[in-house]
Amino acid sequence: MAIGEELEVSEAQIAVHWREEEYIQPPPRFVGQANAHDPAILDRFREENFPECFREYADLLSWDRYWHTTLDSSEPPFWKWFVGGRLNACYNCVDRHLETRANQAALIWVPEPEGELTQTITYRELYRRVNEFAALLRDFCGLKAGDRITLHMPMVPELPVAMLACARLGVIHSEVFGGFSGAACGERIADSQSRFLVTIDGYYRNGDLVDHKVKADEAMARAASLGQEVDKVLVFRRHAGEYASATPMVEGRDVFVDDVIGEYRRAVVPPTSMPAEAPLFLMYTSGTTGRPKGAQHSTGGYLAYVAGTSKYYQDIHPDDTYWCMADIGWITGHSYIVYGPLALGTTTVLYEGVPTYPDPGRPWRIAERLGVTIFHTAPTSIRMLRKLGPDEPAKYDYRFKHMTTVGEPIEPDVWRWYHTSVGKGEAVIVDTWWQTETGGFLGSTLPGLQGMKPGSCGPAALGIYPVIFDEERKVVEPGSGKAGNICIRNPWPGIMQTIWGQPERFVEVYYRKYCNDLKSKDWHDWPYFAGDGALQAADGYFRILGRVDDVINVAGHRLGTKELESAAITVNEVAEAAAVPVIDAMRGKAVEMYISLKPGFKPSAELEAKVVKAIEVEIGKIARPTNVWIVSDMPKTRSGKIMRRVIAGISNFTDVGDITTLANPEVVEQIKHHVQSEKLSRGQLPRELSAQEEADIQAFGKAE
Ligand code: PRX
């Protein structure tokens, strides 16, 4: 579709105008060694071979008992994979590698302070640490298969050790991203009914030793207010024997792990053989209501899917040194730092701190020193590293064969810098599109077999059959130049099993919109609604625009507008709040809050600051809004619904769209004048948005 060519689109559709990029072929050096180099794999995963094609992924694992049914789809949309099979995830990630590579590094941990020693943890050492912690969980805490436990841990090796120890016992872990506030952690503790919290006193971030334990006390208070009592808080110490937090340990509740772990020295805990469908972990994510959604992932299906995609899409071989710079507190870290890479027996690198500390050469020094061969990060880090140190990669002698971008759309220009400068023109790139809910990749090129196209994630992943629907449930054809809602027609092993404790919400959020018949027992009637706007080029490659629901993706972190709004209205003076995304050159998007006040209160800078503080307390600093706009009234429909699309247009200096159906169209001009002149005076100048950015803003809230 050429720029300037007009497309006919209905109100439900989004027309997108951009130039298609040229293909870039994978380098022969990569293709020669790729796990997927034989095009026959594409045939094996064709739709007529579904669902048996996924045996190939499950066969990468060691099963205690082989399954009898690959897919049981008799109760849509609660799919069961590899039914009858039994396995243990920890055994698959640790024990089974001992025979051949006990002395190979499993984890390499790089602390943020450059003077501190890197820790190399071999598979043998990992086995020992996991067993000791599992013994502590079992004997000291009394935890058993099916119980939940919350982890609120930063990027330290104790986090994967704790996860694997849980997996060894069949205990369901729920790791909350370390940057989330204590209150957010407390809500997740209550939702998952965890009786134990694992945390750490402090960790390094941007040169500071952050007090983290203080959040545990806030989490306890919030959980208690929601009726959840916690028996014990297990506190690791960042520096053995020293306590980095200002808050006291609570007698009877708080325990230093290093005080008790000695009792379990050299303990061996047999891995519990779990049914394939037993939940492995919960990962909370933002949704359309304030209550967080605990995406529940299975043991067999999930592990098979992340092992398979790690092999073919991350191209992991056991002798690679693989570094994914994401945080384990997000799904990317669970699937592609811990479970996928360790299931394949490779060496996976963990870095504690921020990529640009103490300078933007840091990642490349780490890569050079450790001999990293595969590198994985998000567009927001790539943009930051390019801005602060465009010439840094050239100064270091590392050689990547493979690189990943994940989490947000990447601008073709940023992609090219990644390719040329970071990858030195020698590495293949995969742009992997997926979600917390999906366990693993949904869209990506198969790196040795399919050409790369900057800005497009590529075709669907093996065994994934997507379709794009418009709001009227009509199929949007490839090559039509129109975007719509991307759905996946079939179940796959990595898909979440349900939302923890909220099965109706699971059906409601992901399936109701495009389900042909809610009574149907045939999976063909149950496409999965991903909540993303996308369009498909004639060659089958997808370009993902961004969320069509009320989720805002800030630097790859999903924030729900409802969560932001609920946080804002905890401020007494606030009557109503609306959160909208603004395009941000570094973070992809940033948040702006619009609030109206209860009668009798006047706008002030203090009130704006109170709203920012409330958001930090309720969610965390990552959610801090760029601006808080206090307005006299929100633009609303006649039924009283706030039109976020209109204010999003104002904040982005783009078209506000049709406002004739509003109950109060006159406020639009007022708000526009106030906000835009204020932005100009704050130096937040409008810039011309790319076609993709404009389509992204247009898509926001489209499917609300
Ligand atoms: O909007 C899509 C965007 O991130 C959302 C999922 O976020 P989360 O559940 O936090 O998982 C992040 C790690 C997979 C999606 O709905 N997204 C993810 N990957 C891409 C992307 N947008 C464009 N391109 C991608 N490669």
In the predicted model, is pLDDT for residue 37 greater than 70? yes
Task: Give, using CA atoms, the residue closest to atom 25 of ligand 1.
Answer: 433
Q: What's the rounded Cα separation, in Å, for the pair 577 and 607?
A: 13
Q: How far is CA 63 from the centre of its chain?
A: 28
Q: How many angstroms does the Cα of residue 77 sit away from the middle of ligand 1?
A: 22
* Ligand 1 centroid distance, CA of 532 (Å): 9
Answering whether pTM is above 0.85, one says yes
Determine if ligand 1 sits within 6 Å of the CB of residue 406. Answer: yes
In ligand 1, the atom with minimum distance to the C-alpha of 546 is 1
477 CA to centre of ligand 1 in angstroms: 23
Q: How distant, in Å, are the alpha carbons of 246, 336, 679 from that of 276? A: 43, 20, 54
Q: How many angstroms separate the alpha carbon of residue 409 from the centre of ligand 1?
A: 8
Instruction: Identify the band that residue 316 occupies on the pLDDT scale cut at 50, 70 and 90.
Output: very high
Q: Does ligand 1 come within 6 angstroms of the Cβ of 457?
A: yes
Which residues are CB-contacts of 677 (< 8 A; sequence separation ≥ 6)? none
Q: How far is the CA of 588 from the centre of ligand 1 (A)?
A: 12
Report whether the peptide linkage leading into residue 355 is cis, meaning its omega lies within 30 degrees of zero: no
Mean pLDDT of 309-318: 98
Average pLDDT score over the chain: 94
Q: Where are the alpha helices (DSSP H) in 348-477?
A: 362-370, 379-388, 412-417
570 or 556, greater pLDDT: 570
Of the listed ranges 72-81, 424-433, 687-696, the one predicted with least confidence: 687-696
Q: Ligand 1 centroid to 98 CA: how many Å?
A: 35
Predicted local confidence at residue 415, as pLDDT: 97
What type of residue is 210? V
For atom 7 of ligand 1, the residue with the nearest CA is: 435
Average pLDDT (529-537) is 95
> Is 699 a pocket residue for ligand 1 (Cβ < 6 Å)?
no
Looking at residues 396-418, what average pLDDT do you find?
96
Query: Ligand 1 center to residue 407 CA distance, Å?
Result: 4
pLDDT band at 687, cuts 50/70/90?
Answer: confident
pLDDT tens sequence across 499-513: 999 999 999 999 999
DSSP 479-515: TSSEEEEEEESS--TTS--EETT-HHHHHHHHTGGG-
Site to substitute for ligand 1 among 336, 553, 554, most atoms within 8 A of C-beta: 553
- The 10s digit of each residue's pLDDT in 209-228 is 999 999 999 999 999 999 99
User: Percent of the chain, pLDDT > 90?
Assistant: 87
Residue 377 Cβ inside 6 Å of ligand 1? The answer reads no
Min mean pLDDT across 59-73, 209-223, 284-298, 337-351 is at 284-298
Tokens of 370: 């450790």
Tell me the pLDDT band of 4, cut-offs 50, 70 and 90.
very low
CA of residue 32 to ligand 1 center, whole Å: 30
Is residue 331 in contact with ligand 1, taking CB distance under 6 Å?
Answer: yes
- 407 Cβ closer than 6 Å to some ligand 1 atom: yes
pLDDT at res. 288? 61
Distance 406 CA to ligand 1 centre (A): 7
Alpha carbon distance 466, 477 (integer Å) = 12
Q: What is the pLDDT of residue 3?
A: 40
Instruction: Report residue 481 as tokens.
Output: 């130049």
Most ligand 1 atoms within 8 A of CB, residue of 284, 435, 528, 690 to mutate: 435
Q: What is the mean pLDDT of residues 557-566?
A: 90
For the segment 306-326, the average pLDDT, to the nearest whole number, is 98
Whether the pLDDT of residue 247 is over 90: the answer is: yes
Kindly give the distance from the C-alpha atom of residue 296 to the centroid of ligand 1, in angstroms, as a whole number. 18
pLDDT > 70 in the chain, percent = 96
Supply the pLDDT for residue 327. Answer: 97
Residue nearest to atom 11 of ligand 1 (CA): 435
| CA 495 – ligand 1 centroid, Å | 15
| HEC profile of 40-67 | HHHHHCCHHHCCHHHHHHHCCCCCCECC
**395 CA → ligand 1 middle, Å:** 31
- pLDDT at residue 84, as a whole number: 98
Q: Residues 586-612: pLDDT tens digits?
A: 899 999 999 999 999 999 999 999 999
Which pLDDT value is given to residue 11? 54
Per-residue pLDDT averaged across 258-277, rounded?
A: 98
Considering only CA atoms, which of 704, 700, 691 is closest in space to residue 15? 691
Nearest CA to ligand 1 atom 13: 407
Taking the C-alpha atoms of residue 460 and residue 486, their distance in angstroms, rounded to an integer, is 11
* Ligand 1 atom, smallest distance to 409 CA: 23
Name the one residue in this structure whose structure tokens are 């933007």.
360
The rounded Å distance from CA 419 to ligand 1 centre is 20
CA distance 310 to 376: 12
DSSP β-ladder status, 279-285 and 274-275: unpaired
Mutate to test the pocket of ligand 1, among 532, 587, 700 (most ligand atoms within 8 A of CB): 532
What integer pLDDT is reported at residue 5 of this predicted model? 47
532 lines ligand 1 (CB under 6 A): yes
**Whether the CB of 433 sits within 6 Å of ligand 1:** yes
Q: DSSP labels for 23-44? A: PBPPPHHHHHH-SS--THHHHH
Does the C-beta of 409 come closer than 6 Å to ligand 1? Answer: yes
Task: Ligand 1 pocket test: pick from 285, 408, 441 the residue with the most ligand atoms within 8 Å of its Cβ.
Answer: 408
Q: What element of type H or E holds 301?
A: helix 300-312
